[in-house]
Chain A
Amino acid sequence: MAGVQVGKRIIGADSPVTVGWENIGRVEGGPIKQFVFTYFQPAMLLLAIGFWYYAPNWLAVASTAIAIRLGWTVLLLALEWVNPRYQSWQLTWKEFATDAFYVALGMTFLRMVDAYIGDGVMVAAIQDAFDWEKFDWFTGLPLLVQAVLISMIFDFGQYWMHRGMHNWYPLWLTHAPHHYITQLNVQKGAVGNPVELFLIGLGIGGFFDFLPRAFLLAGAIGMTVGVYQHINVRFNTPRWWRFIFNTTEHHSVHHSQDYEATRSNYSGTWIIWDRIFGTCVDGEAELLGMEGGRRMHIGETMVFPFREGWRDAKAWLAKRFGGGAAVPAAAQLEPAE
């Protein structure tokens, strides 16, 4: 495969990747379908912002957000059914049950762990240690500005954590299982080793004081923008949207079987971070995964970073001190370097 030159890199040399917006697929169907799948994303973003902006205080609470999120997930699953991007990504019962397991793990076990060692605890500890106050003046900013700031600050952290995961081997070990997914579906964002899910959830937003409503608004932006990273729906995404925001097309490039392509599009919600830091590749891919598309089951996902880490540490020690020939690490497991 020849691949396509993007900046200094060749994208798509190992596995097919479509580069350039003019080459990606379009919604097929009548004018109503075209209309719905062109304006669905912006309409839902506006609707969510409008709701959280004006909802009375008794309604603007976390439990409402959870209920909306649930209904939203069901709606997106229905969209996957109606207008899939690729038939080869169709959700099956087994995939659904597997994805739901990871989501459920995040809602129960991981949340409990987070309460003790998550970013909230770390931020509180740092504030205590340095006797820092929160940045109170933030609460005087307009709500939408606060919301966009929360969202962008969090995503900035996620961008660098994610980029770090693709560039530093110990972090890569935690992130690699997520790259074994072979198709994108609504809940696939939760698939991965719990250590990674913990790391990617770390944020520095806790240093700032925001109005609760601004947090809910930021959540709404995440819910109606970041959610499309992992989805099997064909949209005609407006140009302005895909310039600012991450899309399923961008993220499919990131998950491609092509090595160079995986080293792009690191952000969660704001692809503008990738544009700023020079890692954005506009395009899409259908063939996803690692090791030629080997599926990783739940058991292996849970042990993978520890198993590989142990193997490599042993090999390194043997090489460093044993003098013997070290066992070379599998080529596919090399960090993206």
Chain B
Amino acid sequence: MSGAAVSLRQERPIVKGLKLPLIDNIWRVRGAVPIDPSLSADQAFARVDPLLRTPGTTIVAEGGALVYSKHNPAAQDKLATFTRGRMWIEQAGAGAVLRFDLFSHALLLCFLAPLLFLGFAQLAVTLNAWEAAGSEASAKAEKKDEKKPPVAKKLNPVDEFLGAPAPEDPSKKKDKNKDKDKGMHSPDEGYYLAGFFFVVYLVGRWLEPFLVRRRLRAALAAPPAAAVPAG
């Protein structure tokens, strides 16, 4: 972003002639909230204005629409998730609505995050294969270990008295090889986290538009009390 607000046109095809009518729902949120019919467009915008007037936000009026752009908004910025947006007023039946079209880097990145963690899982698998290929060295190391058979450790008498379970006898351990087969790195965390971020995305895609609607509704309902521009 070059500092100036970037306009979000209704349609901005990536390739000319190509429309992505559904896929941009991943990172774009569109909706509307009703406006009190007695409010003029200027009054309505004035009420929304404090919500936008936060540090790092550029606001531009563009042909009857309010276009904003945020650069690295603060954690508590009410619209932190939506770094760009466009709001305008439309007549709907007898009354009017405030329409919004918002863009979120955070939602897009969260949607893509599972790919990164699947990538890490794949890296773990690849590294395991690579480690297995160089298993000669590890075989040598094993021989070194065999010189000294591990001895079962004893608990301190205090712990014996208090009833803590005794340590396992390492010589009885048989599943050592099992772990070896799995390799040095586990890809499982990568898979779980990919799933986790997908869930986080779904929650965000529902929660954040819900909160935006609620905040806009609250802002429009409140009188423009001391609409002092902050920061």
Contact = CB atoms under 8 A, between A and B. Distances in A.
Binding between chains A and B: yes
Interface of A: 53-57, 60, 88, 90, 92-98, 100-101, 104, 107-109, 111-112, 115, 139-143, 145, 182-183, 211-213, 293-298
A115 B123 CA distance: 13
Contact of B117 (A60, A108, A139, A295): A108
Given A93-B204, A94-B80, A97-B200, 6 more contacts: A90-B76, A92-B75, A94-B75, A104-B113, A108-B121, A108-B193
A108 B120 contact: yes
A90 B81 CA distance: 15
B158 A54 contact: no
A115 B189 CA distance: 15
B75 A211 contact: no
B32 interface: no
B113 A183 contact: no
Interface SS of B by simple majority: helix
B110 interface: yes
A301 to B, nearest CB: 11
B196 A211 contact: no
Given A112-B185, A183-B75, A53 B162 contact: yes
A142 B110 CA distance: 47
A93 B208 contact: yes
Interface in B137-186: 153-156, 158-159, 162-165, 167-168, 184-185
Contacts of B66: none
Give the interface size bracket for B toward A: 35 or more
Given A93-B203, A97-B110, A104 B197 contact: yes
26 contacts: A53-B162, A53-B164, A57-B168, A92-B81, A93-B81, A94-B204, A96-B200, A100-B196, A104-B113, A104-B189, A108-B120, A108-B124, A108-B193, A109-B120, A112-B123, A112-B185, A140-B154, A140-B156, A141-B156, A142-B158, A143-B156, A211-B153, A213-B164, A293-B74, A295-B72, A295-B75
B159 A142 contact: yes
Contact of B207 (A90, A93, A108): A93
A123 to B, nearest CB: 15
B113 A101 contact: yes
A252 to B, nearest CB: 15
A213 B80 contact: no
Interface of B: 72-76, 80-81, 106, 109-110, 113, 117, 120-121, 123-124, 127, 153-156, 158-159, 162-165, 167-168, 184-185, 189-190, 193, 196-197, 200, 203-204, 207-208
B188 to A, nearest CB: 10
Nearest to A53: B164
Contacts of A296: 72
Contact of B127 (A100, A104, A112): A112
A213 B155 CA distance: 10
A104 B194 CA distance: 9
A297 B72 CA distance: 7
A182 B80 CA distance: 14
A54 B160 CA distance: 11
A253 B154 CA distance: 44
B223 to A, nearest CB: 23
A282 B159 CA distance: 36
A56 B190 contact: no
Given A60-B165, A93-B207, A112 B74 contact: no
A15 to B, nearest CB: 16
Q: Which 9 A-B pairs have the closest CB atoms?
A: A108-B120, A142-B156, A142-B158, A104-B193, A107-B189, A93-B204, A94-B81, A139-B153, A143-B159
